[in-house]
Every structure is written in structure tokens, then in C-alpha cells.
Structure 1
Amino acid sequence: MSLQDQFIQAQADSKNLPERPDNMTLLKIYALFKQASTGDASGDRPGFTDMVGRAKYDAWSALAGTDKEAAMQQYVDLITDLQG
């Protein structure tokens, strides 16, 4: 199975985890997904009134420079770990 196929499967698996991950793990899942699918963070950082959007942007931005394949692999590994 190719890394791309594993990534797609992990996306599906992420919707059926045995328990809801904590907020920091959810941010990591989001950031790895965005980095793997879109690349480095782009656009303006959300303002202070959008705390969730700001946290998501910051988590994604922290992965700047991580290549898409590495982000895909980390995403797959994280979802696999969370499945227990």
C-alpha cells in the first residue's frame, strides 16, 4: 500500500477512533493533515477573537518546512497509535 493510500485510510480511520483525542492531539492531527495535503501554512493568522482558528493556524505553522511525505507518514503513525 502506498503512502498516499495509507494517508487516505488514516483519514477514514481518524473518524472512528475508540475515544476522542485531547485537544493537543487534535491540533497535531489537524496540523499534520494540513501540512501533508496543502504544505506550509499560508494566509493571515486569525485574530484574537478566533482562538480555535488561531491555535489551529499556529499548530500548522509550527510544521513549516516539513515535506508532505514526512507529514503524511507522521499523520498515519499518529492515527495508528490512537487506534490502540
Structure 2
Amino acid sequence: MPSKSVSLYITQIKFCRALAVVRSLPIDYEFQPSVADKLNFYGLYKQAIAGDCMQPKPSSIHIVDYAKWKSWEKLRGISPVEAQVQYISSLISLLQEVKKNTAFT
């Protein structure tokens, strides 16, 4: 059975690879993650990198800032490692959905 440190290291490597995939999605590609997916990735990324959100709640007048804050804040209490695992899982689910929807096109 792998040690906890080896398991954490493997999670970190997978997380870095998942980040690279999300960051490299072409803007002009026919498939783009939904706004909800993008906000989910943002919140998980921030929780994985910085931990719990300590920023003050922005005014809801600033729609984008408020949506980003809300997506991060809802993850309060989740460990950075768990956020990395969820980020990886979310990417895998998204890519499986894309594969399923484009398999016969």
C-alpha cells in the first residue's frame, strides 16, 4: 500500500496535469465548458491553492466577482487535497461527456 506522502504526490501530479488540460482548451473550439463548469473549476482551483476563502463578499452588482467568490466560498472547509481530487474528477467527467456527445458526429 502506498504511503500517504506518495499518494499526495500522485494527486499533486494529476492536479497539475488537469490544470494544464483546462488551461489549454482552445477558445475557438466548438466545445467550451459551461459557465457553471468554469465557476466550479475556479472554486476548486482556489480552494486547492489557497484554502478557505478569506476575501470579503463582493457586491452582487459586480456579477463576475460575486459569482467567483460564491463558487469558492461554497467549498469552505474542504481540504486543499480534496479540492484537487474533485477538480480532477470534474475534468474527467467533463471530458467523458464531451467524448460521449461527439462520438458520432
The answer to whether the superposition gives a TM-score over 0.5 is yes
Trace 1:1-16 onto structure 2 (pairs within 5 A).
Answer: 2-16=10-24
* Structure 2 equivalent of residue 55 of structure 1: 67
Residues 4-60 of structure 1: CA deviation (Å, up to 9, x unaligned) = 111100000112447211111111110001101100011111113211110110111
Q: TM-score w.r.t. structure 2 length?
A: 0.73
Count how many residue pairs are aligned between Structure 1 and Structure 2: 84
For residue 61 of structure 2, give the secondary structure of its aligned residue in structure 1: coil
1:73 to 57, 74, 85: 85
Aligned partner of 1:30 among 42, 61, 73: 42
Aligned match of 2:5: none
Name the structure, 1 or 2, with higher relative contact order (CA <8 Å, separation 6+).
1
| TM-score in terms of structure 1 length | 0.90
Aligned CA RMSD, in angstroms, stands at 1.5
Q: Could you tell me how far apart the structure 2 residues matched to 1:48 and 1:66 are? A: 24
AA aligned opposite 2:23: K
Aligned to 2:32: 20
* 1:45 matches 2:53: no
Runs (4+) of structure 1 moved beyond 3 Å?
A: none
Identical-residue share of aligned pairs (%): 30
Structure 1: gaps spanning 5 or more residues? none
Structure 2 unaligned regions, length at least 5: 1-8, 97-105
